[in-house]
Amino acid sequence: MCYSPVMDPMKGRICLITGATSGIGKAAAIELARRGATLVLSCRDSQKGESTIREIREKTGVSADLLSADLSSLESVRQLARMFQAKYPALHVLINNAGLLVRKRTLSADGLEMTFAVNHLAYFLLSHLLLDMLKASGPARIVNVSSDAHFRAALDFDDLQSEKKYSPFGVYCKSKLCNVLFTYELAKRLQGTSVTANTLHPGFVATGFFRDTPGFVKTYARFFALSPEKGAKTTVFLASSGEVNNVSGKYFKRCAEARSSALSYETFLAQRLWQVSKHLAGLS
């Protein structure tokens, strides 16, 4: 069992969750609220955000806060970090959960391929911008939601923006490999601090994520996918469990450490992705 219904293990802990208005993110937010966490949800659609806040309050009796942000925009990610820092004294758990799969190649406001911008670069930039706050709030945790889809990916640094070849699922898989590589490199750089960084596969989960996928994928998801509540269990485990107090730089499935793809352990890949991401995010 991933977690037990222990009362208030997160009381006094401030958690920021991206992509928390649906699916895994919302299910994780509800469970963390039940555990006493102070929740801050980042979302692009304020109407959906307010609806989520009401649902959390109805189900848990806990009021959550809402910060609007478009994670495809680097400036909006910076604004999110500034808003959080201005409003809250500490950050104990950052859950980078927001993700998308785009059927047709689309560019962000910064001219970046949209899936890469939201699924990887937003994780990278937001984590960097809030890192000093996390360190000052330690013990603190960064939880990056990836996927076993990363096993099907490789990185071509000559076509990181998928200009030469675009496949919706292929680009998604690549972004999930970026999540794992980023987490491993981040964990190395956090050694000696009170901040941990881990990543996870939530399972094949039935969410609105499949809106833009082919019909057969939607049919498969309807019959075989996990519920968002089950899919959120490993996220909640990494955010709250005492079992992982000193665990960092690991990949988790079903609340247990697991092996990620062979490529994800290539240090040179992680380091090169770090430098490229730093440049694209405008971090000096």
Instruction: Give the integer Cα–Cα distance in Å for 236 and 32.
Output: 7
Instruction: Give the integer Cα–Cα distance in Å for 151 and 130.
Output: 29
CA atoms within 13 A on the CB side of 166: 15
Phi-psi region of 162 (alpha: psi -120 to 50; beta: other; left: phi over 0): left
Bridge partners of 67? 42
Closest residue by Cα to residue 209 from 17, 16, 22, 20: 22
E runs forming strands in 54-167: 65-68, 93-96, 140-145
Please say whether the beta carbons of 140 and 154 come within 8 A.
no
- Widest CA span of the chain, in angstroms? 52
Report cis status (omega within 30 of 0) of the bond before 139: yes
The count of other CB atoms within 10 Å of the CB of residue 67 is 19
**Contacts of 189 by beta carbon, 8 Å cutoff, 6+ apart:** none
Closest residue by Cα to residue 176 from 120, 126, 232: 120
Is residue 172 among the annotated active site residues? yes
Q: What's the one-letter identity of residue 56?
A: I
Catalytic residue chosen out of the listed positions 3, 166, 172, 220: 172
Catalytic residue IDs: 172
